[in-house]
Amino acid sequence: MVTKLRAAGAYDVISHGAAWRDADTYLREHVMPYYEGATIYCPPFDHPDIWTGNSTVMHEIASQMPNGDAPDVIICSVGGGGLINGICQAMDSISMTTPTILAVETAGAESLAASLSAKEIITLPKITSKATSLGCARVTDKTFTYSQRSNVRSVVLPDGVAAMGCWRLADDERMMVELACGVNVALCYDGRLEKALGRPVKPDDKVVIVLCGGSNVTSGMLCDWRQEYQHIVDKELELERRDSAYTSAEASPKTAPTVPSELAMPVIEGIEIGSLAVRA
C-alpha cells in the first residue's frame, strides 16, 4: 500500500504502529501539531461526511434492483463502521426497512461483535486479525446504535475462512480482493449464509454482497493464503459435515433413513451472531 501511495504522487508516507489506532494517535499527537504548514485530517470512517459518501453505494444498489424491489440480504464488512453507517443512512433516506444486514468481521478484529456482547461499546486490547483494513479496535457510536436494529446481525469468521473467500472468488469470478472483502464472500460458501440468517436461502432471495476493497492484495498473496489455510478450511468443513450427519441421525426417528455425510447440510462452526455463539 505504501508503494501504491508513493506511485500515486505522495511526497512522503509515514507508517507507524501495528494497527490503525496506533497510526491515528501518532498522527494527531506527533505529526499534525508540529507540522509548519496547513494540515487536513481525513478520517477513514468516523465522520458524517464519510458516511454520506459511503451511502451512495446503497443508492446505486437501490436504483439497479430489478423491478425496484429491495434486496433481501445485504452483506458488508465492518471495521470502524463507516461502510455500514452509510448503508443504514441511505436505507433510512429511501425508507428501505426490509433487508437483513449481515455485518461481518474477522476474528481478532471483532470490535462490533464484542460491543454487542457486552451491551456497550468496548475497545479491543489489540488487533490480531490479518484483515488489516478491518483492524479497528473500536466502532463508532453510530455503528453501535445502527447495529442494535432488528434487521442487523453481527457475524464473525476466522482469517482462514476470509482467505478462502478471496481465493474462491478469484477462481469463480476472476476477481482479486483483500481479506477484509473476502470475508463477505466467504459467508456465501458452504452453508454459512443459511447459518447466519437462521433460515434456508430461497431461490428468489436477492442477496447483495458489498465488495469493499481490493487494493491490499496480489496474486502472490492469494497463493500464500491458499497454501497456509487450505488444509485448515478443508479439515474444519469435513468435521462440520460429520457432526451435521451425526446430529441429523440422532434427531431423526429410528425408522428414517440416514442422510449420507456427503449430502448433509454442513453445520458451520465459528459464526457469532450478535452476542450468541453458534457452535456445532
- Which residues of the chain register pLDDT less than 50? 247-248, 252-280
How many angstroms separate the Cα of 112 from the Cα of each of 13, 55, 116, 142? 29, 20, 6, 11
Residue 131: Cβ-neighbour burial (10 angstroms; 0-12, 13-18, 19+) = buried
What confidence score (pLDDT) does residue 26 get? Answer: 93
Q: 26-39, pLDDT tens digit by residue?
A: 999 999 998 888 88
What confidence score (pLDDT) does residue 275 get? Answer: 39
How many angstroms separate the Cα of 176 from the Cα of each of 161, 186, 215, 223? 15, 13, 9, 11
Instruction: Report the distance separating Cα 130 and Cα 109, nearest Å.
Output: 9
DSSP letters, 165-207, are HHHHHHHHH-----HHHHHHHHTTSTTHHHHHHTSPPPTT--E
What confidence score (pLDDT) does residue 133 get? Answer: 81
- Residue pair 204/97 in contact (Cβ under 8 Å)? The answer is no
How many angstroms separate the Cα of 264 from the Cα of each of 158, 178, 191, 208, 245? 23, 31, 10, 26, 6
- Global pTM? 0.79
Dihedrals phi, psi of 225, to nearest 5 degrees? -65, -40
Instruction: Report the distance separating Cα 273 and Cα 280, nearest Å.
Output: 14
What confidence score (pLDDT) does residue 250 get? Answer: 52
What confidence score (pLDDT) does residue 249 get? Answer: 52
What confidence score (pLDDT) does residue 43 get? Answer: 85
